[in-house]
Chains A and B, each alone.
Chain A
C-alpha cells in the first residue's frame, strides 16, 4: 500500500493525524497534512484506511499494490 496526500485539497481538519498518528502529521505553519510513512507497515494499514475514509476533504489517496 502506498499513501499520497494532496495538500491542495487538505483543510487541516486533522482526522488523519488523530486516527493514524504513526502515518500522518500536520505541519505547524498551516496545519496541513504531512505523510510520515508513504508505505505504511502492515500494522498501520487498517488505521490508514480509516483515516482516508474519515478525511472530509478527500485529500488522502491509497494505492493498493496487489502483488497477486
Chain B
C-alpha cells in the first residue's frame, strides 16, 4: 500500500497525551504496536507517514534517500508557523549535504568533547551562582525562570559573544519561534527581529579579534553577515529551550519517582547515565523530526514514494521495548545511550556534548545543593508545554 491509496482512516498529528504527561500520546504507542509506518493527516489536510519504531526511525535518519530540505515538495509541516520557519530563511538544519556539511563544519570545533570538558568548571560556577541567588533569603522559587533557563542561556551567550543583558528580548523571540500556535506572520517577524539583532551584533564585531563564535564567523571570507546572522540565530535558539526544558522536566520526573531520586542522590556516579536515561524517557523534541523521501523506499510492508513526507517520532522510538527493555520505566541505572533524543544521522544535534555537560552539572548542583527539594504546588497545577515544539513545563514552582 502507498500513501496515495490510504483511506480516510488516518491519525491526526499532533495527538493528545494521555493521563501521564511524561508519556507519548497513547495513539502513537498504539501505532508503534499495530502500524509502525502509519498514514497521518497534517493541519493543512495533507498526509504523511508517521514512523514510530526505534529501528525504523534510526534507519531513516541515516538514509540519504530522505531529505531534510523543507523547500522540497511533500515536506511535512505541523503548523503554518513551522512551514515559515523551515522555508523562509532556512538554516543548515533544513539543508542536505554538501551545503549542510559545509556550514555545520564551521561550528563543529566549538563543541568537541575536549573543549566542552574545559568549559565544565565555568558552567558549574554559573550553576552554583544561580543556585545561591535563587536560595538567598527564600524557601521557594520557579526553577524554570531562576535556574533552568538562565543556565544554558548564559552559557550560549558566552560562546556566541551575545550580551546576556538582552535576554528578555531574545528569549521572547525564541519562544515565539518555538510556539506551535504561532502564525506564519508571527514566526516571520520573530525570526527577522532575531536575525536583525544578531546581524547588528555581528557588524559590531567585524574588526574584533575575540574568540567568540560570532566574531570568528565574521572573520571568514566565505560567509556573508546575513549568513553569520542566520547561524548565530540558530545557535542562540537551539541553545536555549532544549536544555532548559530537559533540566526542569528531569527534576520534576525525579520528584515524581522518589526511588530513582534516592538512587541518584546516594550515588552521584550514576548522574552521567541518568542524564542519558532522562533524555530517552522524556524525549522533549516530541512532535517528530520531518523528512521527505527523494526515492521510493520499502519499509515494514509499506511503500514510501518519492515526494511522501515522513514524521520520525523520537518519543515513541525511545519508548520501544525492542530497543530498551521495559521502556516505559525510568531506570537511572540503565544503559540508554542508544536513545535518539538528539536525533541521528548527519543532522544529530551539534551541541550535544555541551547539553550533556550542562544537564549533568545542573542535576548535580540541584540535588546536592537542595537536599529537601520538593514541589511547591500540587503536581496537577504544573503547566506542561503542550503548545510548544520543545516539550517541558512553563513553570516549576519548587521549595526546599
B181 at the interface (CB under 8 A from A): no
B113's partner among A26, A30, A54, A58 (CB-CB below 8 A) is A26
Q: How large is the interface on A (under 10, 10 to 19, 20 to 34, 35 or more residues)?
A: 20 to 34
Binary contact readout B328-354 vs A (1 if CB under 8 angstroms, 0 otherwise): 000000000110000111101110110
B104 at the interface (CB under 8 A from A): yes
Chain B positions within 8 Å of A28 at CB level: 109, 112, 114
The answer to whether A11 and B353 have CB atoms under 8 Å apart is no
The stretch of A12-20, A35-43, A60-68 that contacts the partner chain: A12-20
Interface centre among A17, A26, A31, A32 (most CB of B within 10 A): A31
The answer to whether A56 and B346 have CB atoms under 8 Å apart is yes
Interface centre among A13, A54, A58 (most CB of B within 10 A): A13
Known A30-B105, A54-B338, A58-B62; judge A14-B345 contact (CB<8 A). no
Q: What's the nearest-Cβ distance from chain B to residue A24, in Å?
A: 9
Q: What's the nearest-Cβ distance from chain B to residue A13, in Å?
A: 5
B111 at the interface (CB under 8 A from A): yes
Q: What's the nearest-Cβ distance from chain A to residue B322, in Å?
A: 16
A54's partner among B105, B337, B350 (CB-CB below 8 A) is B337
B165 at the interface (CB under 8 A from A): no
The answer to whether A26 and B348 have CB atoms under 8 Å apart is no
A57 at the interface (CB under 8 A from B): yes
Binary contact readout B350-373 vs A (1 if CB under 8 angstroms, 0 otherwise): 101100000000000000000000
Cα of A26 to Cα of B346 in the assembled complex, Å: 16
A12's partner among B61, B111, B337 (CB-CB below 8 A) is B111
Chain A positions within 8 Å of B343 at CB level: 56
The answer to whether A30 and B109 have CB atoms under 8 Å apart is yes
Cα of A28 to Cα of B337 in the assembled complex, Å: 25
Chain B positions within 8 Å of A56 at CB level: 61-62, 343-346, 348
Measured CB to CB, the residues of A under 8 A from B are 11-14, 17-19, 21, 25-32, 50, 53-54, 56-58
- Can you identify 20 A-B contacts, CB atoms within 8 angstroms? A11-B108, A11-B348, A12-B105, A12-B108, A12-B109, A12-B350, A17-B112, A17-B114, A19-B337, A26-B113, A27-B109, A28-B109, A30-B105, A31-B110, A32-B105, A50-B337, A53-B338, A56-B344, A56-B345, A57-B345
